[in-house]
Structure 1
Amino acid sequence: MAGLDHFKMALDPAIVKLGHMQTNRHKYFRWTPRTAWITFVYVAVVPSIVGVIAYKTDGLWDLRAKRRGDVIREF
């Protein structure tokens, strides 16, 4: 009478295939010039750009204990 058969849903084959693909992605990965370049950009270029920006703006803004009308820029 109160079985859970009413709530069973059919599995979508495309979603099941996507799940298997994402689980086994490491098995089918190959280093190509494109993947090497993308990895280099995300490992070296992006952090260095963020680091340069952080170094240039270090201590430039002091947001603590500011009141309305105070200047944010220190120098």
Structure 2
Amino acid sequence: MGMKHYKIAMDPALVRWNEMQQNRYKYFRWTPRTAWLSFAYVILVPSIIGVIGYSTDGKWDLRAKRRGDDIREY
């Protein structure tokens, strides 16, 4: 028969990591740190990107510009 080359030995550290990833919701706890990170990634970062996008909307026009032309619209 010979060796079965398609089988690989499972690394115990990777098995534990995979179990932790699959069961993370069971052990999640709201702490000040997780609350702050959730707020920052759900509300703060999109708000900052939105304000920057809204304030610069229509400010530059890069279409059909040649060397020496001004890209500012106002």
TM-score range, shorter chain: 0.7 to 0.9
Q: CA deviation at 1:24?
A: 0.9
Q: CA deviation at 1:4?
A: 6.4
User: 1:7 aligns to what SS in structure 2?
Assistant: coil
Instruction: Using the aligned pairs only, state the percent identity.
Output: 69
Name the TM-score, length of structure 2 as normaliser: 0.84
Q: CA deviation at 1:46?
A: 1.0
Distance 2:26 2:70 in 1: 55
How many residue pairs get aligned? The number is 74
Over aligned residues, Cα RMSD in angstroms?
A: 1.7
Distance 1:6 1:48, change over 3 A: closer
User: 1:15 aligns to what SS in structure 2?
Assistant: helix
Name the TM-score, length of structure 1 as normaliser: 0.83
Segments of 5+ residues of structure 2 without an aligned counterpart are none
User: 1:5 aligns to what SS in structure 2?
Assistant: coil
| CA-to-aligned-CA distance 1:14-47 (integer Å, 9 cap, x gap) | 0011111111111110111111111111112111
2:22 corresponds in structure 1 to: 23
User: 1:44 aligns to what SS in structure 2?
Assistant: helix
Distance 2:15 2:52 in 1: 43
